[in-house]
Amino acid sequence: MTLTSRSAVSAVLVSVLVFADSIAGASDGGREPITLGHSETFRSAILTEDRRIEISLPIGFETSEETYPLVVVLDGGDLFLSVVASTKVLTPNYFPEMVIVGVPNTNRNRDLDVTGAEGSDSDAFQAFLENELIPYLVRQYRASGYRVLMGHSLAGLFSLHASLRHPTIYDASISTSPSLPYEGALAKIEEALDRPDPTALTDHFVYMSAGGEEPAVLQDRISDVERRLAELDINGLVCETDVFEGEGHFPNKGFYQGLRSAFGDWGIPTEWFVTGTLDQLEEHYQRAAAKYGAAPRPPSDLIWSLRRRLEELGLNDEHLAATEYHVAQYPSNLARYLVLADLYVDRSETAKAIEILEEGLLVDPGADQLRIRLVELQKEP
């Protein structure tokens, strides 16, 4: 194996700088980097060249032992940045925390053209992804959950073909404006589907999109593939497509919608916000976590909004249980220890209040508000 260890990897921050004219007397004008990830370079034995990858890690990765879904973004660079930016704002309510990896090109046509055109060797690139890159990401970044391969144009064709040909490697593919009009492209897709046991595609997810201003032949070819997948009649095989009117050969809308669909079972149904219970919340995220290989932890704001609703309804025991659950799921949120301690005090359970404050101080011995409240309770008769 030629992938180097993390200690030997050259890491370069992939940062976007946001500038302000002046911020409250800051001598540097308030300029601070907004870091979306880092890059690493290693030697690929399969491709016999150095390859750079861009990596965005989940919040709290360094202090956790959790596993995460993996999203591989072909064409790297700007596409990696746009995918990271669009998912971060919707995590964890619509997406689980996940490892997002961009793969910039060295020789795009050679690596991504699956039609067998002269000079192309997409099989070697697929072998690089399967046998070098993905095992490295699993080993170093615990990216052992649900796997999504996404690409645009020629990379979209590669993503579609690779996921259909290797469904045990990829759980889902997102292909925006895939180069299906290329000569031999549909034949390669058909070849990928011509397998002794098509049930290998059970529970597989395929997403394809095109811009409404792109040639009609592309939309027709996408429909051809969608129809062919439907004819397989395989349990759990889902194909979704979109045509974005007014759009041309651009990937952003398709990437976003494809990811929303691929992770569609993560967010909790809307009706839960009105009538849902804590048990239903836990059960939902247990199922979603099992599907996506993520931690079964509901978003913090969902638990807290449930807590408020239960309080307004006067369901005191359920309100307390939701507060206890939040503290257990998010032990670093020290303010919640104070809320829970006060609930115990209201129920004349001072010993429990003292105990929960002590637990909070184990998390952060410097939490002065917790210590002050603890001393007050310890002084009470």
Residue at 176 is within a domain: yes
**b vs e for 253-262, b when ≥16 Cβ sit within 10 Å of the residue's Cβ?**
ebbbbbbbbb
Residue 207 has pLDDT above 70, yes or no: yes
Tell me the per-residue pLDDT of 137-196, one tens digit each, with 9 for 90 and over.
999 999 999 999 999 999 999 999 999 999 999 999 999 999 999 999 999 999 999 877
Domain hosting 364: range is 289-379
Residue 252 has pLDDT above 50, yes or no: yes
- The mean predicted confidence, pLDDT, of the chain is 90
The verdict on 353 and 208 lying in the same domain is no
Residue 24 has pLDDT above 80, yes or no: no
Q: Tell me the sheet residues that pair with 54.
A: 39, 102
Residue 170: other Cβ atoms inside 10 A: 24
Percent of the chain clearing pLDDT 70 (strictly above): 92
Least confident piece of the model among 62-66, 129-133, 240-244: 62-66
Give the Cα separation of 100 and 206 in Å (integer): 18
pLDDT score at 181:
96
Residue at 279 is within a domain: no
pLDDT score at 28:
58
* Structural contact between residues 172 and 208, judged by C-beta atoms closer than 8 angstroms: no
Residue at 56 is within a domain: yes
The verdict on 230 and 192 lying in the same domain is yes
Count CA within 13 A, CB hemisphere, residue 357.
25
Q: Tell me the sheet residues that pair with 100.
A: 56, 71
CATH number at residue 117: 3.40.50.1820
The verdict on 207 and 99 lying in the same domain is yes
pLDDT score at 190:
94
Among 262, 277, 305, the domain-final residue is: 262
Residue at 19 is within a domain: yes
CATH number at residue 334: 1.25.40.10
E runs forming strands in the chain: 12-18, 32-44, 49-56, 70-74, 99-103, 147-152, 172-176, 205-211, 238-244
The verdict on 113 and 198 lying in the same domain is yes
Residue 3 has pLDDT above 50, yes or no: no
Residue at 174 is within a domain: yes
Closest residue by Cα to residue 73 from 226, 215, 254: 254
pLDDT score at 119:
83
Residue at 273 is within a domain: no
Domain count, the chain: 2
Rounded to an integer, the average pLDDT of 325-341 is 94
Residue at 349 is within a domain: yes
The verdict on 208 and 353 lying in the same domain is no
The verdict on 73 and 210 lying in the same domain is yes
pLDDT score at 32:
82
The verdict on 141 and 255 lying in the same domain is yes
The verdict on 356 and 305 lying in the same domain is yes
Residue 381 has pLDDT above 80, yes or no: no
The verdict on 217 and 337 lying in the same domain is no
E runs forming strands in 156-234: 172-176, 205-211
The verdict on 74 and 172 lying in the same domain is yes
Residue at 281 is within a domain: no
- In this prediction the pTM is 0.87
The verdict on 61 and 163 lying in the same domain is yes
The verdict on 234 and 308 lying in the same domain is no
pLDDT score at 317:
95
Residue 357 has pLDDT above 90, yes or no: yes
